[in-house]
Amino acid sequence: MKILIGEITYELGFDHNPEMKICGAALTDVSKGTIFFGASFCHTRDQYDKFTGRKVALENLLRVNHLPREVRKQVWRQYWKQTNRPAFAEVQDGRR
């Protein structure tokens, strides 16, 4: 999914491996070609859940790479919109 923040365009993508219970998230600054990466790993005894894996991988991506707060907010807003979860988007916007 593409995310426009100011004049910078980012592209957010996810990759899943249910057999190994791993999810990866990559955020690319299209103009610079910079890539930020985050991953989530599920314990072997836990049930793999694609939605939870994406959420944790995205959280790790934003936390580990020390992205500015405005970038993090916009990424989460776009993510909640794209996943069709309006209740989460409203909470993120402070409307609840």
Per-residue pLDDT of the chain in tens (96 residues, 90 and over written 9): 888 888 888 899 999 998 899 999 999 988 888 889 999 999 888 888 888 899 999 999 998 888 888 888 888 888 888 887 655 545 555 554
The pTM for the full model equals 0.78
Query: Is 58 within 8 Å of 48 (Cβ atoms)?
Result: no
Q: Which two tokens stand for residue 95?
A: 């409307």
Domains, the chain, with CATH or none: 2-90 (3.30.160)
